[in-house]
Amino acid sequence: MRKVAIIGIGMTKFGNLWERDLVSLAVEAGAKACKDAGVDKDKIQAIYGGTMSGGLFVSQEHIGALLADYSGLKNIPSTRVEAACASGGLALRQAYLDIASGMHDLVVAGGVEKMTDIGGGAATNTLATAASQEWEAVQGATFPGLYAMIAKLHMKRYGTTERQMALCAVKNHKNALNNPNAQFRRQITVEGVMKSTRIADPVKLFDCSPISDGAASVVLASEKAAEKFSKNPVWIKASGHATDTLSLHDREDITTLKATVEAAKQAYSQANLKPADIDCVEVHDCFTIAEICAIEDLGFCKKGEGGKFVEKGNTKINGKIPVNTSGGLKAKGHPIGASGIAQAIEAVLQLRRHAKGRQVDTEYAMTHNVGGTGATAVVHIFGREK
């Protein structure tokens, strides 16, 4: 397989963007990525666009053709990619495989979601379509409730505390202060998290990622194209993808996301690296307990020690393994289809040494994008060298 690089990045601000629509967000992010890459849009040979549910959020399906149309790239192959909250990460993987296989040399991978055009109840119901309709959603189980079950068992089995969960949120909000595209650029306190409204015990409002609008795009290139267009490419060293049961009740252990474990195993093997080689990681912190599970499942600490690992400061900017330097889904925002691509953009910024105010000494960066409660997981590793 051929080597693949990211040579351009672009994203919109994340947040409640009432005045924007899905298409304008996607076009803005794509145009910024092409400009950053120094590539005329007419050179783009294919598009992979991640979006979870354009039909339910904005009554628009057939997203692939729509993105190509409004980007002025008619007639090129354009594919909509869906994997719930991992749609963006999977779009990146599909674009990577396209170029690695030799099919194309310049491809855009993007993600977009416009979630705020419907009310909170409708948004909750839409998000619940990423869970099992037969066994979970029909019983009234929402994602806060499902992750609350994971948290409850993790707390009972390993002694994890609500305070340790809160520390993840506080750290991510602090990191977001230096991310100009983040939805929440304000600090919070552990006490504030602990006093926030309980959504599904022990998950509180400030343990949850928000409803967000936004888009993100990257331009991927073959080795030859990267050498032609870019002086500072970031190389995709590995791409791992795995799945698990859709329903929590079918899993052997709901505190372990086996799809994450397997996708990470693939990525480490492909890159010939181990957890200790990773300098920073963007994990899928849709809820604070998800961040704790992720650092365990990715191998940064032993199973059950995630809460204590966080409490010791190991995941801070200057810690053993900086986690979510962008602010994560919790503070950067979580426009579902865009999140996996936004994670990759943070990895690129870190490797380019352009993450102003949140820079980490980085040679290898990792991203971890999850769909649902872990039925899909996509893990990428990026590096400065080929």
Q: Which residues are catalytic?
A: 85, 334
Report phi then psi at 22, rounded to 5: -60, -45
Q: Which two tokens stand for residue 43?
A: 């050179």
- Choose among 323, 339, 321, 256: nearest CA to 291: 323
- Choose among 336, 356, 337: nearest CA to 346: 356
Query: How far is 98 from 220, CA to CA, in rounded Å?
Result: 10
Q: Which two tokens stand for residue 176?
A: 């977001």
CA dihedral for 90, 105, 12, 293, sign (positive or negative): positive
Amino acid at 172: N
Q: Which residues, including other chains, have CB under 8 Å from residue 255's CB and lie 6 or more apart?
A: 150, 153, 154, 157, 158, 293, 303
Q: Which residues, including other chains, have CB under 8 Å from residue 61's CB and lie 6 or more apart?
A: 54, 55
Written as one string, the DSSP assignment of 295-357 is HHHTTSS-TT-HHHHHHTTTTSTTSSS-B-TT-HHHHH---GGGHHHHHHHHHHHHHHT--TT
Taking CA atoms, 156 is separated from 159, 286, 295, in Å, by 6, 21, 19
